[in-house]
Amino acid sequence: MSILSLFTDLFRNLNQQRLRSFLTIFGIMWGTATLILLLAFGVGFRDQTVLNMRGMGDQLAIMFPGQTTKAFEGYGIGRPIRFREADAWMLKQQISEIDVVLPEYSSYLQISYGEKRRNSSVGGVYPGYQDVRNMYEKQGGRWLNDHDIREQRRVIFLGNRLAQNLFENEDPVGKSVMMQDTPFTVIGVLHEKIQNSSYSQQDQDRAFIPATTFSTMMGTDIINNIIYTPKDPAMAENIRDQVYEVMGRKHRFDPSDTDAVGIWDTNEFWAFIDIMFLGINGFLGLIGFFTLAVGGIGVANIMFVVVQERMKEIGIRRSVGAKRHHIMGQFFLETFLIIGLGAGAGYAIGWLLVQATQNIPIKEFVGAPYFSPEVGLIAFAVLGFVGFAAGLLPAWRAARLDIVECLRR
């Protein structure tokens, strides 16, 4: 039987039972659209969560000073640990797997411009802090540089919301603000970014000055925390163990005393994200699969009816030499053609639904659905499985029919 004849017979059969055919194709269409929409929401949620987390930095670990909870080498418990700038440079020197290490000063200070005043977390940092923390400036400004560090310049970089609160509609760059009765020149404003976590204050409300300027103003080299990134995220756990070893030797505490130095390693979060969204997307895909399977049952049902209605045709074809695999191939192909009609419409409707939900009110938290290539491929694979399962039994039954019984119909 030619392909043209197969298509002609298929559409003739569909036309003869319009309602039945419509409901069958509709089941596949709706199941496909549902599967695509659910998977697209899962991908969008994953991407938005990653984007939110990247607001604080990529593969970042933040060290906080704590106090000892274990006696060690004659020292008792409850002894506070204090970080100094030299500790950061020591970690970089002694742990080769660390890529970047940066000390960070921090204190809540009042910043004023004219009559406007704001209490803000002010960080004393080095230029490399920009890339580690994804701190990028708006056009017309700049970030801290090496000259600011060497010359201990009184320059300040403002978070975007802090700048808005102080300057409203004025351009802050080049203007002076007062901090600790000292004028600071604004050199840049933070480009707005999404950030759902922080370890002191949201970056949009913070200010940053050169670390050397901060140390001189406050008269101390005691820092609030140390930031580091690994060369290879897979080595994060090993690096953390080495950090405790190195800091334990320096500050005389038991390396197993994790309360002496707190470490928030965001690499653990990235590993958790992969597992969590594999489970979420798997669950959403399973719901979509079962929805599509209902449509597949409808296709299998209509193909069983078609087999009953076409028994005489099957008997004639077998009697003139058609093999069983020819009969199976014909009904498999018809099954996939029906599913293809529904799937094509389902892909179109799914894509339209994805586009229609791009501006949902909670987009900042759950993201917008995204029709990625992986969504299309997964949907295609599921459709292929459903089509095979829906066509197998009807095709098998058609191929195993007795020729004589078919010709008696």
- Over the stretch 26-47, which tens digit does the pLDDT of each residue have? 777 888 888 888 888 877 777 7
Amino acid at 54: R
Specify if 60 maps to a domain: no
pLDDT value for 2:
54
Residues 279 and 400 in one domain: yes
Q: How many CB atoms lie within 10 A of CB 16?
A: 10
Residues 88 and 127 in one domain: no
Residues 35 and 179 in one domain: no
Asked if residue 145 lies in contact with residue 127, where contact means CB atoms within 8 angstroms, the answer is: yes
Neighbouring C-alpha atoms within 13 Å toward the C-beta of 370: 15
Torsion (CA) 208, 213, 215, 218 in degrees, nearest 10: -90
Specify if 62 maps to a domain: no
Distance CA 299, CA 21 (A): 9
Residues 118 and 221 in one domain: yes
Please give the residue range of the domain that contains residue 251: 67-97+231-259
List of the chain residues with pLDDT < 70: 1-20, 50-55, 197, 270-271, 304-330, 360-367, 391, 393, 398-409
pLDDT value for 404:
59
Residues 236 and 315 in one domain: no
Count structural domains, the chain: 3
pLDDT value for 176:
94
pLDDT value for 309:
64
Kindly tell me the sign of the dihedral angle through the C-alpha atoms of 186, 190, 192, 194: negative
Instruction: List the structure tokens of 189.
Output: 């404003």
pLDDT value for 243:
94
Specify if 264 maps to a domain: no
Specify if 78 maps to a domain: yes
Residues 240 and 313 in one domain: no
Residue ranges of the alpha helices (H) in 357-372?
363-366
Residues 395 and 304 in one domain: yes
pLDDT value for 405:
64
Residues 190 and 243 in one domain: no
φ/ψ of residue 24, rounded to 5: -65, -50
Residues 92 and 182 in one domain: no
Q: How many CB atoms lie within 10 A of CB 306?
A: 20
pLDDT value for 118:
92
Residues 122 and 88 in one domain: no
